């Protein structure tokens, strides 16, 4: 929930001290020289969050920015971040934000949440396509 994200806090920072030392030794001896740690950490975030990394980080940011409401609501309902997976906590945070947002702003909220950052994903692959005849037959 820090305002400044330091990727090294997540990896190897989230590892046990002994494992962190092992990773730093591998960096120093060159066996991890080709690893892009930024990309690795973003992939870890995506894996443990069960969603694209940018969605996970936006949800954390949204929860942090609205903590006086989001956090209070989550605490009132007994949500304990130490007992949930990161993915589960994000699910509860998202539900809490959706419940507390002005319904007129919900569509924009979802669009902004899901929008990939520049250079992530292929716009052509992610947009559904429909033929004109298929569209016309929906009526």
CB-based contacts of 66, cutoff 8 Å, min separation 6: 97, 100
**Assigned domain for 1 exists:** no
14 within some domain: yes
CA–CA distance, 87 with 45 (Å, rounded to integer) = 10
Task: List all residues 6 or more positions away from 11 whose beta carbon is below 8 Å from its beta carbon.
Answer: 23, 37, 40, 41, 44
- State the residue range of the domain holding 31: 7-116
Asked if residue 138 belongs to a domain, the reply is no
Whether residue 66 is contained in a domain is answered as yes
Model confidence pLDDT, tens digit, residues 58-89: 999 999 999 999 999 999 999 998 999 999 99
Query: What parts of the chain have a pLDDT lower than 50?
Result: 123-127, 133, 135-139
**Residue 122 included in any domain:** no
Residue in 97, 120, 125 with CA at minimum distance from that of residue 109:
97
What's the token pair of residue 108? 């924009």
Distance CA 14, CA 83 (A): 17
- The answer to whether residue 97 sits within a structural domain is yes
Does any domain span residue 134? no
Query: DSSP letter string over 91-116?
Result: HHHHHHHHHHS-GGGHHHHHHHHHPP
Q: What pLDDT, on the 0 to 100 scale, is given for residue 1?
A: 62
- The total domain count for the chain is 1
């Amino acid at each position: 929930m820090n305002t400044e994200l330091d990727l090294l806090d997540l990896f190897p920072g989230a590892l046990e001290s002994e494992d962190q030392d092992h990773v730093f030794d591998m960096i120093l001896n060159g066996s991890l020289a080709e690893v892009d740690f930024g990309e690795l950490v973003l992939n870890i975030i995506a894996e443990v969050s069960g969603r694209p990394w940018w969605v996970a980080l936006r949800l954390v940011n949204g929860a942090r920015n609205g903590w006086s409401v989001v956090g209070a609501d989550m605490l009132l309902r007994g949500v304990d971040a130490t007992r949930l997976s990161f993915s589960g906590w994000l699910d509860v945070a998202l539900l809490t934000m959706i419940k507390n947002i002005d319904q007129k702003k919900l569509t924009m909220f979802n669009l902004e949440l899901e929008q990939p950052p520049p250079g992530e994903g292929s716009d052509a692959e992610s947009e559904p396509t429909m033929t004109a005849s298929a569209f016309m037959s929906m009526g």
